[in-house]
Amino acid sequence: MIYLDNGATSFHKPQGVYRAVGEAMRSCANPGRGGYGAALEASRRVYGCREAAAELFECQPEQVALTTSCTHGLNIAIRSLVRPGGRVVVSGFEHNAVTRPLHALGADIRVAGRKLFDWADTLERFGDALKKGADAVVFTHVSNVFGYILPVEELAALCREKGVPFIIDAAQSAGTLPVSLSKLGADFIAMPGHKGLLGPQGTGLLLCKGEAAPLLYGGTGSLSIQQEMPDYLPDRLEPGTLNVPGYAGLAEGLRYVRRTGLEEIFQREHTQLLRCVRGLETLGMRVFAGEHQAGTVSFLAGMDCEEAAERLAKEGIAVRAGLHCAPYAHESAGTLDTGTVRVSFGHDADSSQTNMFLRAASKLPGYKV
Amino acid sequence: MKFYYITFRSVTFAQRGEKVLQKSGIRCTLQRTPRWMEEQGCGYCLKLWTKDVTPAVDVLRQNGVGMRKVYSQRQDGQLEELTV
């Protein structure tokens, strides 16, 4: 299989990740609960993950809350900042992991910036939207459908200038692009553990600047007499037994990313992205490409996107078609009715993957206007 | 040489404390906080064997590792809370 669905999850993990998961399952009891060897070993594994994340994302270990997914983290972040009915500004490229929690709160959602790959438009629209104020701003770092890299530093500066709390969805950028909690000054940055960070599924991270509201309540192994959740991080957000094997694996994924280097990983993906875009255009597909693009590209062939993906699957190519849980993004690009076929490269991107993909794609009919 | 206990709000702070003390060459062991030391219930502490706990407390403060309490072993072997 040629795996080009890294936007959904990374499939080929570093060997250390598989090893760490197995070791943790054999050697770890419940972290933060007991004082015997296996419990302390579990605590060390969990702390190792926090520490590795804190180094990569420039924050303190206790500011790293361990979650089950990026969606989990976004729910905590949104519930912490947005009151029911509150006005929230979001980009035109948000995932349902952002928009559904906002919708459930009855938030007044204002969409700012719908032009793909256009930083000037994105910044201008956010600036306009924030003139009327907002309870919070939420924006994705990279569109999961189109790979559009939003101008996060400028958007963060704008939010800080306006004094509006903000959340960054780093689902598609963590492990590929620099993400710094201390530099961006975000209230929260949410990310999955299983995509660019190369950990197991069922893991995620929520970087927290300060206060956060619990989403779940329960035992934390601390202040057990008190019936309120602890008022400090990370305990406030982490009731119940943690996924120790998952975080042990994620710690190894984080260390691999640091060792390899973000720039190197980005270059591997971006080099193949450019070859893929050129190849698809030559084949007569409608390709959504532009400046400020990460290792993800969407395209349309001359047939239904799901049927195209199915044909590619039969040729051994794994890509994702449809709406990618991001109707806002498709609405922005005008592809809500058709969906797209998405190709997303990962840390192991190389030219043989692109060649095999393009060979299979050449059997699809070209896009007809 | 006698021993001291430094208690923390959570295992995460205790572990960060352990790391910064070890980096400073101060030997310590992570363990559960004895029940009587923690009126709010469960927690973790660091046990230190040293003549003077002040350098350890200073290192923890400099690194922003929040402590709860410090206990010292008296000559009669009993423990007493220190004001730090």
pLDDT per residue over A107-148, tens digit each? Answer: 999 999 999 999 999 999 999 999 999 999 999 999 999 999
- Distance, CA of A5 to CA of A8 (rounded, Å): 6
A255 within a domain of the structure (yes/no): no
Mean pLDDT by 10 residues, chain A (369 residues): 98 98 98 95 98 98 98 98 97 98 98 97 98 96 98 98 98 98 98 98 98 97 94 97 98 98 98 98 98 98 97 98 97 97 98 98 92
pTM of the complete model: 0.96
ipTM: 0.89
CB contact under 8 A, B32 and A226: no
A63 within a domain of the structure (yes/no): no
pLDDT at B50: 87
CB contact under 8 A, A223 and B39: no
Residues 6+ apart with CB under 8 A from A221: A31, A32, A33, A235, B10, B11, B42
A198 within a domain of the structure (yes/no): no
Q: Which domain holds residue B30?
A: 2-82
Mutate one of B5, B9, B15, B29 to test the A interface: name it (highest A CB count within 10 A).
B15
For residues A30-53, one letter each, b for 16 or more C-beta atoms within 10 angstroms of the residue's C-beta and e for the rest, the string is: ebbbbeeeebbbbbbbbbbbbbbb
Q: Which residues of chain B have a CB within 8 Å of the CB of A231?
A: none
Query: What's chain A's length in residues?
Result: 369
Check: CB of residue A90 under 8 Å from CB of residue A100: no
pLDDT at A252: 98
CB contact under 8 A, A223 and B9: yes
Q: Which CATH number is A305's domain given?
A: 3.90.1150.10
A187 within a domain of the structure (yes/no): no
Check: CB of residue A195 under 8 Å from CB of residue A6: yes
- Distance, CA of B74 to CA of A18 (rounded, Å): 49
A330 within a domain of the structure (yes/no): yes
A225 within a domain of the structure (yes/no): no
Number of domains in chain A: 1
A65 within a domain of the structure (yes/no): no
Q: Which domain holds residue A337?
A: 2-11+261-361
Q: What is the mean pLDDT of chain A?
A: 97
CB contact under 8 A, B10 and A221: yes
Number of domains in chain B: 1
pLDDT per residue over B23-46, tens digit each? Answer: 999 999 999 999 998 888 889 999
| Tokens representing residue B15 in the block | 């572990």
- Long-range interactions of A238-243: CB distance < 8 A, separation 24+: A238/A65, A238/A66, A239/A214, A240/A216, A241/A30, A241/A31, A242/A31, A242/A32, A242/A46, A242/A66, A243/A66, A243/A68, A243/A202, A243/A203
Query: Measured between CB atoms, which of B16, B43, B66 is closest to A61?
Result: B16
A352 within a domain of the structure (yes/no): yes
Mean pLDDT by 10 residues, chain B (84 residues): 90 97 95 91 92 94 95 86 86
pLDDT at B83: 84
CB contact under 8 A, B11 and A221: yes
